[in-house]
Amino acid sequence: MEKQPVIGVGTYVATPRAKELVLKALDANRLSYGPMSQEFESSFSGLHGCRFGVLSNSGTSALHIAIAALKELHGWQDGDEILVPACTFIATSNVVLHNNLTPVFVDVERDFYEIDPRQIEAHITPKTRAIIPVHLYGLPADMDPISELAQQYNLKVIEDSCETMFATYKGRVVGSLSDIGCFSTYIAHLIVTGVGGLNTTNNPDYAIKIRSLVNHGRDSIYLSIDDDDETTDQELRYIIERRFSFVSLGHSLRVTEMEAALGIAQLEEWEPMIEKRGSNAQRLIRSLSAYNEYVQLPQIRADCTHSFMMFPIVLHEQNKKDLVQHLEENGIETRDMMTLIRQPVYRNLLSIEEDDYPASKWITDNGFYIGCHHNLSDSDLDYMSDIFSQFWMTKRKEKSDTSLLVLILDEPMADLSHLLEYIPDELMSDTVALVSNPEDQRIDLLERQKIRIEKYAGDPVRFVKEAEWNYDYVIFFPANGSYDPRDIAKVSNMMASGHDMVVASRFLSGGMRHAENQNNLYRSLGNRFFTSLSNILFLGNMTDTISRFRAIRKHRLQSIVNEQNGYPLLFGLSIQAMKERWQINEIPTHEVVTLSSSHMRKAWLSVIPMLLRLCKEWLSK
């Protein structure tokens, strides 16, 4: 029996380069803060647009000392307030409490899960001192409006970027968008050193204070055993006098040269790592978008890049428990998208009403994340998609709707393999191929794929209407190569949400004709003329009234009453849908190959019948 894979949320593989640098640190007989730590700090801060970087033992420590430094330098008082998002890892708010300050929760955006700038101002009081926006899962928060509010109210901004590295917001890299940036290099993060954290800043006073707080609050004149190298006698005397002078109430938050060595090795390969995470995420988005009716997938904020530490998923309505259990049972690790509003530790410490944070409450109940890290293979990603499909296929079968996919083979096409590869079998109750030519050589291939063959004459839509087949809605797909079969799932998903008719349109924003047809203006003008005129006459809002790729409810097919076929029949259906106010939707689609001359001829021959149908429907309005 094939062993079930385990798809973890994070990864670390020690490369030969990492092992080389760790051994170099050991061979130097130097584990305390030294040249490797300094190189890691300098390289990391430089990549994040900052002059100064300070290494510590965790992202939590980096957050803690960032707040402590600002509190000491700016004279904040115990009990002063810091605004934090209600959706974040608990460390973001814990460090506020550990500094004897008060966290004030602000609800988050439903689409990006990060602090909602529109709600910040309502939480600002005379005691507010800072805002901590959190860049979750690899995506920068919306920093411009946050920075504007901070400037208006004289507040400091601390970026919690523990889950995001290298990503940019309007061309500026995370960690440089605030007074102090905070990062983590813990297991399952982007750069992994086992334990570790970093602060970045362009303010030298903040850098000096943070470095002191990492090392017991020691006078910054002596933080490394190298600090007394190459000094004059007078400088050495001065250092000796102050090197055990402690100027702040600090902590022991240091790491060793070995963690720094691991970090240096990974910084050398950060670009392909981020690129692979991004491509993995996009592959998951493409495959899971077939289930958009159930889930909200990750989105990328405009003018931002995403480093995809994780892949967050939020179910629209259904609680996540059944899906999470299904994934875990099949070897796909999940983690809750953490929020702060339901944490037991805060019940007595803070006054929290869940209903004050509707977005965070929704995320608490319905949100989780999976991995999309750079060590996932194509087969891993395919396996993940299959496991999701199993779950949603079961859910769809529990619904009453049954769906029929009708493949229309009314003209030759060189290759059906591309089409068959993308038929979403898990979404279809049945698939039928309508064949107008009994000698069609593709029949054997369809039969091998266990697709039912029906020979027909006349119009395929009328044929299906008159057939006594059991289905709730039917999708008509011309199998001549002119439409993209990947759009079948999108049409099905819209129909599953209750629409009467869904049309695949080349003229909708995002749609496109085949390149060879870009110069054929007349076909486009004819379609748009009839569509525009029918929209005006019947108060519609369609972009393509004669598309052959469409889905329709079975009972709506009864609107076919005249003897017309082909494009006039489809045009009549569209007019009927407008007149009777059906629930209509459209999806953008790309024309894969140029239409054949026979179909172009049919389109031209349909002009007069369509005009007559338009007049008849208008007169009967």
Residue range 20-36, pLDDT digits in tens? 999 999 999 989 989 99
Element (H or E) spanning 403, and its range?
Answer: strand 403-409
* DSSP state letters, 428-463: -SEEEEEES-TT-TTHHHHHHTT-EEEE--S-HHHH
User: Domains along the chain?
Assistant: 16-270 (3.40.640.10), 277-390 (3.90.1150.10), 401-619 (3.90.550.10)
DSSP calls for 256-276: -HHHHHHHHHHHTTHHHHHHH
pLDDT score for 519:
47
Distance CA 359, CA 361 (A): 5
Residue 347 has a pLDDT of 84
Strands, E, within 252-391: which ranges? 295-296, 311-315, 335-336, 367-370
Q: Which residue has the tokens 């702060």?
A: 340
Decide: 406 and 435 in contact? Cβ < 8 Å. Answer: no
CA distance 403 to 411: 25
Indicate the pairing of strand 172-173 with strand 180-184. unpaired
Alpha-carbon gap, residue 578 to 597, rounded angstroms: 31
Q: Is 539 helix (H, G, I), strand (E, B) or coil?
A: coil
Q: How confident is the model at residue 606 (pLDDT cuts 50, 70, 90)?
A: low
- For strand 473-478 and strand 403-409, is the pairing parallel, antiparallel, or unpaired? parallel
Cα torsion 327, 329, 330, 336: sign = positive
pLDDT computed for residue 200 by the predictor: 98
Residues composing the chain: 621
Alpha carbon of residue 120 to chain centroid: 24
User: CB burial class (10 A; 0-12, 13-18, 19+) of residue 607?
Assistant: middle
pLDDT tier for residue 231 given thresholds of 50, 70 and 90:
low
Work out the widest C-alpha separation in the chain, in whole angstroms.
106
Residue 223 has pLDDT above 60, yes or no: no
* DSSP assignment string, 512-526: B--GGGTT-HHHHHH
**Nearest of 353, 359, 352 to residue 103 by alpha carbon:** 352
Choice between 433 and 62, residue whose per-residue pLDDT is larger:
62
Strands 335-336 and 367-370 come out as antiparallel
Query: Which backbone phi and psi does 8 adopt, to 5 degrees?
Result: -80, 160
Mean pLDDT of 115-119: 97
CA-to-CA separations, 449 to 239, 432, 446, in angstroms, rounded: 81, 11, 5
Distance CA 497, CA 593 (A): 30
Q: Which residue in 352, 332, 329 sits closest to 342, CA to CA?
A: 352
Of the two residues 349 and 46, the one the predictor is more confident about is 46
What is the number of other CB atoms lying within 10 angstroms of the CB of residue 554? 16
Higher pLDDT, 286 or 510: 286
Average pLDDT, the chain: 87
pTM, entire model: 0.68
